[in-house]
Amino acid sequence: MKKIRLEPGPFVLPMPTVLIGATVNNVPNFMPVAFIGIVNIKPVIVACGLSPTHHTSSGISSNGTFSINLPGADLVEATDWCGLHSGTRTDKSKVFETFAGELENAPMIKACRLTAECRLVKTVEFPVDTVYFGEVVSVHVDEAALKDGSPDWSRIAPLLFTFPDKGYWRLGDHVAEAWSIGKKYKPL
């Protein structure tokens, strides 16, 4: 099949939709983010790209902490609403019931089946966004979203975001076991 060249863009694959939480002026604030990923395993370091002009970014910078909250399809309206309204003009503290973990100023959302609290370890500025690197200090998961003591992604059912269509999607079907299925492959 013929390949068509596209200009660079954030559409290599679907991205997770998360709600980044931070305390700003003593008030929990949340914003949806799709530019996020794991960049180190021990310790677990995540990177998320946000415009430094966002209200949430100011909370991350001033407190040195933030949370990652994985909403499911049941929270898609509230998640999108948080992206449509700036915390500088709208109080988002009543949108979700929150809880605290080990870190102060990293509010987590009770309705999200999986959340994590992060300590800011580094920032890198780019022309548009700043990348905030955070060490995951702890992960909180609903007991019902576990299978054999580990997160069950079919039960967590995180939202995915696609670009350029700007769509929210659900996680698809399990295909195979990693570091196992390839043992059956026979190169030509």
Does residue 1 form part of some domain? no
Which residues are CB-neighbours of 177 under 8 A, at least 6 positions away? Answer: none
pLDDT at 35 over 90: yes
Grade residue 8 by pLDDT with cuts at 50, 70 and 90.
confident
CATH number at residue 152: 2.30.110.10
Does residue 7 form part of some domain? no
Does residue 4 form part of some domain? no
Domain count, the chain: 1
Structure tokens at 35: 């530019």
Report yes or no: 45 and 120 within 8 Å, Cβ to Cβ: no
Q: Where are the beta strands (DSSP E) in 145-188?
A: 146-147, 150-151, 159-162, 167-170
* CA 146 centroid distance within chain: 19
Q: Is-above-0.85 flag for pTM?
A: yes
DSSP string, 92-126: -TTTS-EE--SSTT--EETTSSEEEEEEEEEEEE-
Does residue 8 form part of some domain? no
Q: What is the domain range of residue 147?
A: 15-184
pLDDT at 6: 81
Grade residue 7 by pLDDT with cuts at 50, 70 and 90.
confident
User: Alpha-carbon distance 168 to 9, whole Å?
Assistant: 17
Looking at the DSSP bridge assignments, the partners of residue 20 are: 31, 68
Does residue 131 form part of some domain? yes
pLDDT tens track for 132-187: 999 999 999 999 999 999 999 999 999 999 888 889 999 888 899 999 999 999 99
Does residue 164 form part of some domain? yes
Phi, psi (rounded to 5 degrees) for 82: -60, -30
